[in-house]
C-alpha cells in the first residue's frame, strides 16, 4: 500500500495507540476521547468505504489519559467484498503514522456455554477460518516473510487487564476467537464444529487486522463483546439488531474496560 497524503493535523499527530471499534462500539470515540480531529475514510485516497449500518466510517483521533490515539470508527469486513489488502490497509496506515500498540474490538457470538450476552472476552488466541490470509501477496519489505503467531495477543497487556478486571469485580472471560467470513451467521452444526476446534466465540472480523499488526511488529490486544449466544446454543434466530442492542446495553462497562486497557499501554 502506498501511504496516502493525509491532511494536517493528522499527518503530524503522531499517534502511539490505534483502536478499532466494532459493531455497536463506535460510541467510544465520542464518549471517551478528547477529540483533536476526524477524517472520513471517503476523504482518504485509495481507501475503501464502509457499508454496514452502525459503522460510521471515519478516523477519530485525539487523546485519552494523555495518550495519543487514533481510532477507527467503523472497520472493513471481508463479507463486504473487500480484499484482505483493503481490509488491512488502515493497519498499515496507522503503523506508518507511528502506532505501535493496537486495540481491536468486535462483537461476537458466544460458543462457550458459560458465556452470556453482555460478557466481555479477552482474546487469548484465534483461529483463522477465513480461508485466506492477509499476508498473501504482501507488498513491502516490513517484517519477516513467515511471521510467528504463537502469541498474537500480548501476554503482558492481557495480564494487566485481567488484574484490573479482578480488582474492579468485572467479569472478563478469556478465550479463543474464531473468524468466519459471514455475512450469514453460522449453522448450529458449524458452531458445534467450532466448539470442537477449541473456539469460545465466533465473529466476522479482527483476525486479518491482528495478523497484519503482528507482521508489522505491533503489540495487539483484542476484546470481544459477546452479544449473543451462537446459533444452536441460542434457540432463537440471530439478528443484527440483537447484536447492536446488547452492545448498546453494556456501553459503559465496555468503555471502562477499554479505557483501562489503554492505560496499560
At residue 169, φ and ψ (nearest 5 deg) are: 70, 30
The answer to whether residue 61 is catalytic is no
Does the footprint of ligand HPA cover residue 115 (CB under 6 A)? Answer: no
Task: Look up 205 and say whether it is catalytic.
Answer: yes
Q: How far is CA 207 from CA 43, 75, 128, 149, 195, in A?
A: 26, 12, 7, 11, 18
Tell me if 190 contacts ligand HPA by CB under 6 A. Answer: no
- In the list 230, 250, 257, 265, the residue contacting ligand HPA (rule: CB under 6 A) is 230
Which C-beta is closer to ligand HPA: that of 39 or that of 129? 129
Show Cβ contacts of residue 112 under 8 Å, excluding neighbours closer than 6 positions.
173, 175, 195, 200, 201
105 or 227, CB closer to ligand HPA? 227
Shortest CB 122 distance to ligand HPA, Å: 17
Half-sphere exposure of 171 (CA within 13 A, CB side): 10
The radius of gyration of the chain from alpha carbons, rounded to an integer in Å, stands at 17
222 scored as a contact of ligand HPA (CB under 6 A): no
Active-site residue flag, 55: yes
Measured from the CB atom, the residue of 165 and 201 that comes closer to ligand HPA is: 201
Among 73, 112, 206, 227, binds ligand HPA (CB under 6 A): 227
Taking CB under 6 A as the binding criterion, the range among 50-58, 105-113, 128-136, 250-258 that sits at the site for ligand HPA is 105-113
Interface residue with ligand HPA, options 199, 203, 208, 250 (CB under 6 A): 203
Residue 186 engages ligand HPA in binding (rule: CB under 6 A): yes
Give me the helices (H) in the chain, please: 27-32, 84-97, 155-168, 188-197, 207-215, 240-249, 251-264
107 is catalytic: yes
**Residue 212 in contact with residue 91, Cβ under 8 Å?**
yes
126 as an active site residue: the answer is no
Q: Does 48 bind ligand HPA (CB under 6 A)?
A: no
- If the CB atoms of residues 10 and 179 are measured against ligand HPA, the closer one turns out to be 179
**The only residue of 20, 107, 216, 221 in contact with ligand HPA, by rule CB under 6 A:** 107
Count residues near ligand HPA (CB under 6 A): 13
Phi/psi for 196 (5° steps) reads -60, -35
Q: Which of 23, 50, 106, 224 is catalytic?
A: 23
Question: In angstroms, how far is the first alpha carbon of the chain from the final one?
Answer: 27
Q: Is 111 in the site for ligand HPA (CB under 6 A)?
A: no
Q: Reply yes or no on whether 231 is catalytic.
A: no
Residue 43 DSSP SS3: helix
Q: Cell digits for 13?
A: 499527530
Query: What share of residues in the chain are helix, strand, coil (percent, to 5)?
Result: 30, 25, 40
89 touches ligand HPA by CB under 6 A = no
Where in the sequence numbering do the catalytic residues fall?
23, 55, 77, 79-80, 107, 204-205, 228, 240
Amino acid at each position: 500500500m502506498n501511504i496516502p497524503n493525509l491532511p494536517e493535523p493528522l499527518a503530524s499527530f503522531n499517534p502511539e495507540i490505534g483502536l478499532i471499534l466494532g459493531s455497536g462500539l463506535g460510541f467510544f470515540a465520542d464518549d471517551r476521547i478528547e477529540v483533536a480531529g476526524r477524517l472520513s475514510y471517503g476523504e482518504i485516497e485509495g481507501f475503501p468505504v464502509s457499508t454496514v449500518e452502525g459503522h460510521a466510517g471515519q478516523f477519530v483521533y485525539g487523546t485519552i489519559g494523555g495518550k495519543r490515539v487514533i481510532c477507527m470508527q467503523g472497520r472493513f469486513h471481508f463479507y463486504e467484498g473487500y480484499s484482505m489488502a483493503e481490509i488491512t490497509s488502515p493497519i498499515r496506515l496507522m503503523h506508518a503514522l507511528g502506532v505501535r500498540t493496537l486495540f481491536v474490538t468486535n462483537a461476537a457470538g458466544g460458543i462457550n456455554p458459560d458465556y452470556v450476552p453482555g460478557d466481555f472476552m479477552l482474546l487469548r488466541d484465534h483461529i483463522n477460518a477465513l480461508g485466506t490470509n492477509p499476508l498473501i501477496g504482501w507488498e513491502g519489505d516490513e517484517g519477516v516473510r513467515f511471521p510467528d503467531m504463537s502469541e498474537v495477543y500480548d501476554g503482558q497487556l492481557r495480564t494487566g487487564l485481567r488484574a484490573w478486571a479482578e480488582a474492579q469485580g468485572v467479569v472478563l472471560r478469556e478465550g479463543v476467537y474464531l473468524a468466519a467470513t459471514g455475512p450469514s451467521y453460522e449453522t448450529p452444526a458449524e458452531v458445534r464444529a467450532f466448539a470442537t476446534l477449541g473456539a469460545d466465540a465466533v465473529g466476522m472480523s479482527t483476525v486479518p487486522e491482528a495478523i497484519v499488526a503482528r507482521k508489522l511488529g505491533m503489540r495487539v490486544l483484542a476484546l470481544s463483546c459477546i452479544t449473543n449466544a451462537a446459533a444452536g446454543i441460542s434457540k432463537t434466530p440471530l439478528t443484527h439488531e440483537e447484536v447492536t442492542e446488547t452492545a448498546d446495553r453494556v456501553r459503559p462497562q465496555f468503555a471502562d474496560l477499554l479505557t483501562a486497557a489503554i492505560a496499560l499501554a
